[in-house]
Amino acid sequence: MKDFTNDINKYINREIEVLKNLDVDSINAVMNAISDAHESSSNIYIFGNGGSASTASHFANDFNKGISEYIDNKFRFVCLNDNVPTVMAIANDLGYENIFSFQLENKLESGDLVIGISGSGNSANILKAIGYAKSCNVKTIGVTGYDGGKLAKIVDISFHVNINDMQITEDVHMILDHLMMSVFMKVLIK
């Protein structure tokens, strides 16, 4: 039997250090933006690539079903990477860099919220969609890792996991989802 315990402990300890150093004020700002969109019954568009796509989908599930099951005013998360035929058609016909921005065109309304998830903060399709949302004067959130990339610099609210490790970055992005879900459930479910 192989002994992986040393590497396991190193990973766990790195994650604990990252969690200890998270910017709680940025989490609070993200939660306030989501709360504002929810209270105005606005859409919350969320998207990402690869592991971040599954994180975006998980966010939508946790808010649209997990919390909304227990409240009258349901969350309106729309995950732009969940419709594979639409994403593939846009990528094939218009280019992969347009898969999210195209889906936002002429749909955004005042009060909507747009959340882009990119571990590196430099995904061209995420940046293009966020740029489009900003041109519509819609509030934007970037969820990033590494140095935050370009995304952290252009969004209204940045949740940044300050580590050069994609696995820990993605772990903490999911922790953000579950942390917010837990807090919102305590606040919204009476």
**pLDDT of 72-85, one tens digit each?**
999 999 999 999 99
**How confident is the model over 11-20, as pLDDT tens digits?**
999 999 999 9
Chain mean pLDDT for the chain:
97
**pLDDT > 70: percent of the chain:** 100
The domain 23-188 is placed in CATH, from the list 3.30.420.40, 3.40.50.10490, 3.40.190.10, 3.30.530.20, at 3.40.50.10490
| Enclosing H/E stretch for 53 | helix 51-61
The helix-helix angle for 24-39 and 166-188 (nearest 10°) equals 50
CB 169 within 8 A of CB 145: yes
- Domain borders along the chain are 23-188
Angle at 182 between CA 180 and CA 186, to 5 degrees: 115
**How confident is the model over 87-125, as pLDDT tens digits?**
999 999 999 999 999 999 999 999 999 999 999 999 999
- Beta-carbon contacts of residue 178 (< 8 Å; ≥ 6 apart): 62
* Sign of CA pseudo-dihedral 152, 175, 78, 35: negative
Q: What is the mean pLDDT of residues 166-185?
A: 98
Decide if pLDDT at 173 tops 80: yes
For residue 166, what are the CA distances in angstroms to 46, 139, 187?
19, 26, 32
For residue 175, what are the CA distances in angstroms to 5, 9, 21, 126, 170?
23, 19, 14, 21, 9
The pLDDT assigned to 40 comes to 98
Q: What is the mean pLDDT of residues 68-73?
A: 96
Q: What residues does 159 pair with on adjacent strands? A: 143
Q: How confident is the model at residue 190 (pLDDT cuts 50, 70, 90)?
A: confident
